[in-house]
Structures are given as C-alpha cells and as structure tokens.
Amino acid sequence: MFYICSDREFTGENRVLLAANMSGCGADGAYTANAFQTDSERIPNGKIRSNPPNKRIKRIPASHSAEAALSAKKQVTRLQPKVETAEVFQMAAEGGASYSRGPSQHALNRPVAPMSLAAVAPDPKYQVLKDVFGFDGFRPGQERVIDALLRGKHVLTVMPTGSGKSLCFQVPALVLGGLTVVVSPLLALMQDQVQALRLAGVAADTINSGQERDQNIAAWRRAVAGETRLLYLSPERLMTERMLAALAKLDVRLIAIDEAHCISQWGPAFRPEYQMLARLDAVFPNVPMVALTATADEVTRADIALQLFDNKVETFVLGFDRPNIHLKVEPKRNWHRQMLDFVERHKGQSGIVYCLSRKRTEEAAGLLREAGIRALAYHAGMDKDAREANQNTFMTEPGVVMAATIAFGMGIDKPDVRFVFHADLPGSLEAYYQEFGRAGRDGKPAEAHMLFGLADIRMRRMFIDEEASDDDRKRREHQRLGALLGYCEAATCRRQVLLRYFGEKSEPCGNCDACTAPVALVDGTAEARLILDAIRSTGARFGAAHVVDVLMGAANERIEKFGHGKLPAYGAGKGRKREDWQSLIRQLVAANALAIDIAGYGALTIADEGRRLMRGETTFNYRPTVQQKRAAKKEAKAAAAATLSDENTDLLDALKRLRLALAKQRGVAAYLIFSDRSLIDMAEKRPRDEAAFAGIHGVGAAKQKAFAKTFLEAIRAHGDGALDHV
C-alpha cells in the first residue's frame, strides 16, 4: 500500500487521502493508464464514507502507480478545510480511524497499526525516474522544472546541451497521465526520442511526413484510444485547424515545445511556422506548457515568454557554462594542415569536424582517412541510408571522427565525444555554443577548437545578405555575427565573453587559450577612448558602421543629416584601416566596455568598463589583427584517463558489439539500446543476476525485461572466456 496526503505539498484547501494497491508491471511492460478508484468517496464533517461493496477496486500495477495517483485527483476524497492533513496523519499514528480495502471491510472506526510519515508514497516523479528511465536522481535544474509543471504552471527553461532537457517533460508526462503533445522541428529528432521511449517501455508515437500514411493513421488511433502517453508532432502538422480540433477532444495534459528559440524573430534560428504556436494557450487554456531550449539570450527569452505565455510563465535558466570543455580559437592559415595536426593529437578518440559546405565535408573526411584516421562524412546531400549508417557507426564504435555540416548533431547524445573542431566560422555564438556542446557530455575533459579567417567572415555576411528575410532580421544577424567575431578576437578569457553574451558573469576560467596561453597584447587605451567619445558625442544611438564612419571622416548622407561632421571625433581615426576600428569595437564589446542593442537597431552603448575607461580608471589592451606567429606551441596531448582495466575494456568492446547487433535486429540506433555509460557500468560492476542488472545506470523496467537475460549471458560468457564470438 502507499498513501498520498495533499495534492499541494500538504497545503491548500483540497487535501486528499489516497490508498492504492501496488503490484507488478503489466504483461506488455508498457507505461499506460488503468482505471482507478479510491476506497472513499467523501469526507463530510471529517468522517470518511467508504465505497459501497459493489464498487470494485482495481489493482494498479507499480509501473502505473504514478499516473494513477495523479488521475485519481479527479475522483478522490476531499477533506473539509477544517480537517487538517496533520490531523489525518495523527489519527493513523495513534491507531485511530482509517479505512481498509476489500468488499466486506468498509468500517472506518477500527484500530489499525500505527502509521508514520514514512508510509507516505514516494514522490511519483522519483518512481518514474527510477522505474522507467533507470536513474537514481535528477540532474541539476530538472526537478524544479518538473515540479512547476506538476503544479500546473507554464514553464520556460534554458538548459545547456546535454543536461537532460527531455526528461523535464517526459517525467511529468508519465506522472500526469493522459496525453502529452511534444512539438519538435526535426523528423530525425522525433524518431530518435520515440524509439528511446519505446525501449524504456513508454507508449510514445509520432505522426510525421517521413512515415507511411498507414503508420500515421495507426498512431492517431492509438492516441484517440488513450494508449499513447507522448505524441510527437511538427509545428506545421500540429497547427492545422483539423489537428487542433481533434486534439481538443482528447485528454491532453501537457504540451512541450522543444527548440523553443525558433519562435523568436530575435533568435538566430527563427522559423515562421513556430509563431503559430502562440495560439496553443487559447486552444488548451488549462493545459500547462513547457518551452525548452539550450540557446536563448535574454532578448530571445523575453520574446518567447511574451509570444507563448503572455509573460505568465516561470522561467528557469540553469546556466550555460560547460567548464570541462577547453575553448580555443586561432586564425585560419592552412585549414588542411591545422585540422590534421589537431585531430592527430586526438587519434583514437571520437570527435566532430564541422564544415560550412557539403563539398568541404567530403574533403575533410577524405583527408582524415588518408592520414589513417577513421573518418566519415554526414550532410543533407547524402543518401538517407548512407547518412543513417554513418551516424550509427559514429554512435556505436570508438575512435570515429565525423566530418559534417550543421545537419549533424541535433539530438545526438554520445557522451564520449572528446572534441569538436570548426574548420569554418559558425553562424553565431548561439550556433557555436550548441555545436561545441556536443563534446564532453560525460563530464570529462574535451576540446572546442575553431578556425576563422577573412574569407569566412565574407561568406557569412553574404549568407545573411542573401537570406530571404526582411531588413530587420538581416541587421540582427549581422550583429550576432559581430558578437561571434568579438569572441574570436577576445583578448581576455573566452568563457567570460561567451557567458556574458548569454547574461551570466564568471571569473576567468583557466581553461581557454586566452587564459592558458595568452597572446601578446597591445595597449589600445587611446583608440578605445576615441571610440567611446564618438559613441557619446553621437548620442549612443548608432551602430558600429556609423561610428567607424565618424572616426574615418566619411562623407555620406547620414553624417551630413545628423551634423556629425562637426564633432571633434570626426576624422580622428583616419590613421587606421576601417577593419582595425571594427575589430577594436568588437573587442570592446567582448571586454564589457560596450554593449549592443540586438533587439533594437544595433546601437552601441557604453557599458561599465567603458565608463571606467572614460574616467581614466583602467586601460584597454587588445589583440592585434595581424597574422599570429605560425610556430605556435603545440598543446600537450590530452591524457585520456584509463578508467577500465584491460579485462574490463575487452568486456566493454564485446558489449558494444552485442548492442550493435541488437540495434540492427530492431532497426534502431545502437545508443537507444543502452548508452555508453550504461555499458561501462556493466563492465565495471559485472552483474550476475537480474536484481544486480536492475542497478545498472539507465536500466528501467522495460529495458530490464527486454535485455537483462541477453546481456547477463554475455557478461557470464566473458567470465568463461567465451565472449570472442559475440
């Protein structure tokens, strides 16, 4: 038996006392709803009236108990306000009135064994976390988001790549019961999550254009029948009048919007179809919604909160720092040689090389293979089967390097990626953060290495100018690119610059090239004060281009219109190239001396460090734009800590082969069977029976049932020296 007191953490007027029987999982192992009744119907004036004998109480499987407990709130007994929860506990603790189960035992006024608070049911979310997903505890930030959703609140959460955003809606979906609708922008990401949930024993489905019509019809029928817990849809399919009307007739309990930054026109990945999601609150007025993203600055977060929730939302920003990842940027000289030198230092490790074009992706993979490195290519121009085969190889086999465009990586959860190398400049700081965040998800040291050059900058600016969007968006994207260039040229800690962009403050990290191998800097205090004076004297209303025009003494319509040709700063910077002044402005932004109004018109304003500079309280040193010395010191080769013995490493390799074979049989990606962390746990602990196997990281009830016997046999075979044939 388990007991639940109060549906609002023992507070509020609506208090419940619930008893449910616990037993094993259903035959199919799926986490679905059962009918549920409570032993009591009402408590008038503090007295419980039990159910009549003809109302049979159904047994609730343990794997269903969390969902049943929540759904029971609609039927369960309510105490009058004057009957406090504590009094109910006190009655039971003193051996007083309680109620018992069974058709012939409905008398309440009979003594029962004393009950302590320990008899209260474990929080359903913990049951789901352990029984379904096989985890012992939540990661930082997850529990606060889940608790808010279970209280019926709208939530906006920003969590770093790899921090477990999906569990923030998957756990509440199973606790709340009914149907959860998940909005996702990518078919591949939807398919991966559905497959992973099904392997965990969760009834999940997707309806999308990548499936046959019969498959979509079958998925919808399961949703209508109440068999589905999570239904994944693209925003385009969800926001049709027909789909909204059909869903409104179902028991929708939660809506999750993944990659929520796509809704914001201020964001770097704006998708017009996401703006249609603003209607969801009107269509489902009493359904909590959660918007999730890994990359949203303050302006984008504010826009999401306004559009989706009319600012009636609880916002959780977990933080953006990934302290285990070493950050480095260097000017592009010979990208072939620079890439090969870098990857050679990481030979035998998994990594990703990001390239700007499909052609360069193929070229990079070929160069790496010629150097004896196992490398594969991935881009949207490849055959679908070839892409999936390469992705599966990368996910399941050690030491593979993937040369890819940005088409690769969304939803990839490979924990032991040791490096991400950008052969070309990414599109923005948000994109860069998301891409290098695919490294080091296991918490061990990893590297993010970027090359950038003038040709990259020109190419990125051309992409923005040729984009089919309005002038406001193009202007914002140029400003975002400027912020990225400021990061690349930063003279101080790169992590400080990166985190400041996302609204966080930090101390120098000691784990970036600016901290560990600082370059020789030049005193630019005088130049900085010229820039600051030009911004101040023009009213801090203009962007970098106009400020540079003033410094360079340009003669154009705007200079004449605003009378800026008469300012003392006009023409004061003629002795330098325009590119030098642009670089200095970017570095002043990176140093928190200037700020850019991205949501407005890109106006430069003077920030705290800038005001100190103007008062003469500090100086400004900058990184020169000239080519850095070719003979830079090679960084020490990362020592990959060998945490497994040779014998355990052999077992781990065999378990990976077994995982791949099972994945091929089921037609899913190998990492969906078990993560590398789970296999490492098996190799270290070597469970001998199913009880021990249940304690392995990531083993929930469904995976225990599906895979325990197979993996236990493999582990025993290794002990007998017979695993070479697996």
Spatial distance between the Cα atoms of 121 and 4, rounded to a whole number of angstroms: 6
Mean pLDDT (whole number) for 586-609? 82
185: amino acid identity, one letter: P
Name the burial class of residue 245, with classes exposed (0-12), middle (13-18) and buried (19+) by CB atoms within 10 angstroms of its CB: exposed
Spatial distance between the Cα atoms of 194 and 219, rounded to a whole number of angstroms: 12
Kindly state which CATH superfamily the domain 325-508 is placed in. P-loop containing nucleotide triphosphate hydrolases (3.40.50.300)
Domains 126-317 and 325-508 share a fold: yes
118: amino acid identity, one letter: A
- Pairing label, strands 2-5, 17-20: antiparallel
Q: Which residue has the tokens 């489902």?
A: 284
Radius of gyration for the alpha carbons in the chain, expressed in angstroms and rounded? 30
For residue 634, pLDDT over 60 is answered with no
363: amino acid identity, one letter: E
Confidence of residue 410 (pLDDT cuts 50, 70, 90): low
**522-622 to CATH, choices 3.40.190.10, 1.10.10.10, 1.10.260.40, 3.40.1640.10:** 1.10.10.10
Q: Phi first, then psi: give them for residue 101, nearest 5 degrees.
A: -95, 165
Spatial distance between the Cα atoms of 254 and 149, rounded to a whole number of angstroms: 8
Spatial distance between the Cα atoms of 521 and 536, rounded to a whole number of angstroms: 26
Dihedral sign computed on CA atoms, order 239, 242, 248, 253: negative
For residue 66, pLDDT over 90 is answered with no
Dihedral sign computed on CA atoms, order 345, 351, 356, 362: positive
Spatial distance between the Cα atoms of 514 and 511, rounded to a whole number of angstroms: 8
- Pairing label, strands 621-622, 604-606: unpaired
- Closest alpha carbon to 505 in 297, 327, 319: 319
Mean pLDDT (whole number) for 675-703? 90
Confidence of residue 465 (pLDDT cuts 50, 70, 90): confident
Confidence of residue 616 (pLDDT cuts 50, 70, 90): very high
pLDDT of residue 553: 94
CA dihedral 506, 511, 513, 519 (to 10 degrees): 70
Mean pLDDT (whole number) for 432-459? 88
Q: How many other C-beta atoms lie within 10 A of the C-beta of residue 70?
A: 22
Question: Of 93-102, 383-392, 523-532, 569-578, which gets the smallest average pLDDT?
Answer: 93-102
Whether domain 126-317 has CATH 3.30.750.24:
no
Residue 137 DSSP one-character state: S
Q: Are 414 and 423 in contact (CB under 8 A)?
A: no
Mean pLDDT (whole number) for 432-445? 90
Name the burial class of residue 311, with classes exposed (0-12), middle (13-18) and buried (19+) by CB atoms within 10 angstroms of its CB: exposed
What 3-state DSSP class applies to 62? helix
Mean pLDDT (whole number) for 578-606? 83
Each domain of the chain, given as residue ranges in start order, spans 2-121, 126-317, 325-508, 522-622, 646-725
Question: Of 304-313, 337-346, 516-525, which gets the smallest average pLDDT?
Answer: 516-525
Q: Which residue has the tokens 């006392």?
A: 17
For residue 35, pLDDT over 90 is answered with no
The topology under which CATH files domain 646-725 is DNA polymerase; domain 1 (1.10.150)
For residue 446, pLDDT over 60 is answered with yes
Q: Which residue has the tokens 């642009």?
A: 582
Spatial distance between the Cα atoms of 275 and 265, rounded to a whole number of angstroms: 9
Q: Residues in the chain, how many?
A: 726
- Closest alpha carbon to 223 in 179, 258, 281, 254: 179
Spatial distance between the Cα atoms of 657 and 216, rounded to a whole number of angstroms: 33
Residue 723 DSSP one-character state: G
Q: Which residue has the tokens 């003494």?
A: 553
Q: Are 309 and 273 in contact (CB under 8 A)?
A: no
Token pair listed for 181: 């609708």
pLDDT of residue 645: 59
Name the burial class of residue 340, with classes exposed (0-12), middle (13-18) and buried (19+) by CB atoms within 10 angstroms of its CB: middle
Question: Of 60-74, 123-137, 348-362, 516-530, which gets the smallest average pLDDT?
Answer: 60-74
First vs last Cα of the chain: how many Å apart? Answer: 44
H runs (alpha helix) in 352-396: 358-370, 384-396
pLDDT digits (tens, 9 = 90+) for 84-118: 333 333 333 333 333 333 333 333 333 444 444 34
Could you tell me which residues come within 8 angstroms of residue 674 by beta carbon, excluding any fewer than 6 positions away? 659, 698, 699, 703, 707
